[in-house]
């Protein structure tokens, strides 16, 4: 569906938004980690084997937290079918991070197109990469696959990777929660 590099960056976008923005998660209020806890949250939102919490500087963590907030607005805009707004938000993110493609190669592997920013710092690099992946999603027929969980008291985001684009929830936990509530409602009515 998505190229694997783009799919990875979309997954990172989802985990940054879900870890670093306030709201509600699986039926409970969610407060994003702050101050001393922010670096650890950033490190665990990035792909495994990347950076440790002690390698994430506070300014870098704060930058990624701001990026996550702006990416949440992109998911919300797409979810509410305000695609023009989503496009404006992504264009602003692309230009702020100076996103650009670059050919990179791991020794022994073929050249691959990766996305970089104005510098290769952790925050600018990931912000530019995630913004580019969101741009590629919104600029394709897969735009509608960015979503916000439909379950009550949850606003975590997701990318719908299902074949028929039927996903509505951030997690199986929320899906089960909604199913159980519908089942109880039917029992009361019956």
Q: Which CB sits closer to Zn ion, 6 or 16?
A: 16
Binds Zn ion by CB under 5 A, chosen from 74, 78, 136, 174 = 174
Pairing of strands 100-104, 112-116: antiparallel
Distance CA 154, CA 109 (A): 41
Cα–Cα nearest to 125, from 154, 104, 152, 149: 104
Map the footprint of Zn ion across residues 139-168, applying CB under 5 A: 149, 151, 154, 156
Q: Compare residues 8 and 168 and give the one whose CB is closer to Zn ion.
A: 168
CB of 167 to Zn ion, least distance (A): 11
Q: What number of chain residues touch Zn ion (CB under 5 A)?
A: 6
Report, in Å, the least distance between residue 143 CB and Zn ion. Answer: 21
Q: How many angstroms separate the Cα of 99 from the Cα of each of 77, 91, 105, 157?
A: 21, 10, 19, 23
The CA distances from residue 89 to 97, 118, 162, 184, in Å, are 13, 18, 26, 41
Whose Cβ is closer to Zn ion: residue 42's or residue 170's? 170
**Cβ closest to Zn ion, residue 55 vs residue 80:** 80
Element (H, E) at 19: helix 4-20
Paired with 148 in beta bridges are 157
Contact call for residue 56 and Zn ion (CB under 5 A): no
- Tell which positions 72-111 bind Zn ion, by CB under 5 A: none
Q: How far is the CB of 152 from Zn ion (least distance, A)?
A: 9
Instruction: Compute the half-sphere exposure of residue 149: CA atoms within 13 Å on the CB side of its CA.
Output: 25
**Cβ-based neighbour number of residue 33 at 10 Å:** 16
Looking at the Cβ atoms of 142 and 151, the one nearer to Zn ion is 151
Closest approach, Cβ 24 to Zn ion, in A, equals 8
Q: CB 102 → Zn ion: shortest distance, Å?
A: 35
Binding residues vs Zn ion (CB under 5 A): 149, 151, 154, 156, 170, 174
């Amino acid at each position: 569906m998505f190229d694997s590099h783009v799919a990875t960056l979309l997954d990172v976008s989802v985990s940054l938004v879900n870890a670093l923005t306030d709201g509600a998660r699986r039926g409970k209020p969610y407060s994003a980690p702050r101050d001393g806890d922010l670096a650890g949250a950033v490190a665990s939102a990035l792909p495994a084997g990347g950076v440790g919490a002690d390698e994430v500087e506070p300014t870098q963590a704060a930058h990624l937290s701001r990026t996550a907030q702006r990416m949440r607005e992109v998911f919300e805009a797409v979810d509410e079918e305000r695609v023009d707004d989503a496009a404006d938000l992504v264009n602003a993110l692309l230009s702020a991070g100076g996103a650009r493609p670059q050919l990179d190669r791991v020794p022994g592997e073929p050249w691959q197109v990766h996305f970089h920013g104005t510098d290769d710092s952790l925050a600018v690099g990931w912000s530019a990469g995630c913004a580019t992946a969101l741009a590629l999603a919104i600029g394709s027929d897969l735009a509608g696959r960015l979503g916000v969980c439909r379950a009550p008291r949850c606003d975590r985001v997701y990318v719908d990777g299902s074949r028929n684009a039927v996903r509505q929830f951030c997690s199986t936990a929320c899906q089960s929660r909604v199913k159980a509530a519908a089942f109880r409602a039917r029992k009361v009515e019956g």
